[in-house]
Amino acid sequence: MKTIRIILCGCGGVGKEFLQLIADRKKEIEQKYNLSLIVPAAVDYKGAAIADSGEGLPLSHLVDFIKQGNEIQTFPEYGKENITGIQVIDQITADVMVEATPTNLKDGGPGKAHIFAAIEKSMEIVSANKGPFVLFYKEIFKKAEDHNCGLHISAATAAALPTLDVGLTCLAGSRVSSAEGILNGTTNYILTQMRDKKTAYADALKEAQELGIAETDPSYDVEGKDTANKTILIANRIFNKTFGLNDITVQGITDVTPEDIEAATQDGKVIKLIGTIEKNGEDIQLNVAPKPLDKTHPLALVSGSEKAITYMTDTMGSITVMGGKSSPVGAAAALLKDLINAFK
């Protein structure tokens, strides 16, 4: 049995669900993968819960405590006030750092510091946080390479949808010439409602917010920024590049009208917000924009808040995977999947 010690940074929606999954499936993971997952420390923005014993934190009790609205640093016996993620990473011996703090696309936020500190200690990195990798991919990749650390970021590239698993593992040995993805559930839900129910954009957006699919401030999704970030990360991993925000053109769905939807329908097409990666010789172009797809295109069939990606290869033809839960549970499951695959 291989024991894996985990430091979790970020105990919001995704972090809580990650702890819940480990608590619920500990024995199953031991039996199936011969891995014993131990969490000696979980950190949030006001402090941490830290276990001195080798058994780690009592996760079931900790999750119940957090889900009741309590802050992690007040967890009886284990809570520590005003200790930072950097301090925890420096003080606690662990094999992997799971980064689940909120995405920050201005300077990377605390997630950036957590990742660099964990690499310094030769930990594996499992992250749902896109910010540090979109902004500082080249620096992170180089440092991880120097310290022989794995970077596992499928939770940051469409959560439960296995975009990178397919591209890196299932297509190993093939040459990918292009990839097209519906990578944001909010925009796909809005466009689906506009087409299927003739709903106006503003009404479809409001409905998505009421259902919890869209955020109160939906600009990150509807302006195409979320799709752009995921497209950049997928391109970097699949093609071993270091693209950033200046390397992609982005157009969201805010200007898509019912007339546009109807015209596409009359033409036998379906409008979807597509993140595109296209390789022409040594040149790779990245783009996000609403595109009219033929009804026969596999991505035209993706409805509601579901996501999908299509890879075009030289030897395996066109490969499409679709679905995946758009929720904190889905993202947490992707973190757990990456962690297991890193060590199994």
Strands (E), 175-258: 176-182, 248-250
DSSP class of residue 103 equals: P
Tokens of 255: 């200007």
DSSP class of residue 10 equals: -
Residue 230 appears among annotated catalytic residues? yes
Q: What is the pLDDT of residues 140-165, one digit of tens each?
A: 999 999 999 999 999 999 889 999 99
CA dist 184 and 163 (Å) reads: 13
Over its C-alpha atoms, the chain yields an Rg (Å, rounded) of 21
* CA atoms lying within 13 Å on the CB side of residue 75: 29
CA dist 340 and 344 (Å) reads: 6
Tokens of 114: 């957590």
Selecting among 16, 112, 130, 230, the annotated active-site residue is 230
Strands (E), 107-150: 124-127
Tokens of 113: 């510091």
Q: Are 99 and 129 in contact (CB under 8 A)?
A: yes
In the numeric block, the tokens 């619920």 are attached to 24
Q: How many residues does the chain have?
A: 344
At residue 4, the pLDDT reads: 98
Q: Report which of 290, 287, 304, 212 is spatially closest to residue 257, judged by C-alpha positions.
A: 290
User: Mapping DSSP to helix (H, G, I), strand (E, B) and coil, where does residue 30 land?
Assistant: helix
Tokens of 294: 């033929």
Q: Are 308 and 323 in contact (CB under 8 A)?
A: yes
pLDDT tens string for the chain (344 positions)? 999 999 999 999 999 999 999 999 999 999 999 999 999 999 999 999 999 888 999 999 999 999 999 999 999 999 999 999 999 999 999 999 999 999 999 999 999 999 999 999 999 999 999 999 999 999 999 999 999 999 999 999 988 999 999 999 999 999 999 999 999 999 999 999 999 999 999 999 999 999 888 888 899 999 999 999 999 999 999 999 999 999 999 999 999 999 999 999 999 999 999 999 999 998 999 999 999 999 999 999 999 999 999 999 999 999 999 988 778 899 999 999 999 999 98
pTM here is 0.94
At residue 344, the pLDDT reads: 86
At residue 213, the pLDDT reads: 85
Q: Report which of 288, 338, 334 is spatially closest to residue 183, judged by C-alpha positions.
A: 288
Q: What is the pLDDT of residues 48-93, one digit of tens each?
A: 999 988 899 999 999 999 999 999 999 999 999 999 999 999 999 9
Tokens of 293: 């797809």
CA dist 153 and 175 (Å) reads: 21
DSSP symbols for 52-90: -STT---HHHHHHHHHTT--GGGSTTTEEET--HHHHHH
CA dist 265 and 273 (Å) reads: 15
String of b and e for 35-66 (b: at least 16 CB within 10 Å)? bebbbbbbbbbebbbbbeeeebbbbeebbebb
In the numeric block, the tokens 């757990």 are attached to 336
Q: Kindly report the backbone phi and psi dihedral angles of residue 303, in degrees, each rounded to the nearest multiple of 5, phi listed first.
A: -120, 170
- What structural domains does the chain harbor? 2-160+329-343 (3.40.50.720), 163-324 (3.30.360.10)
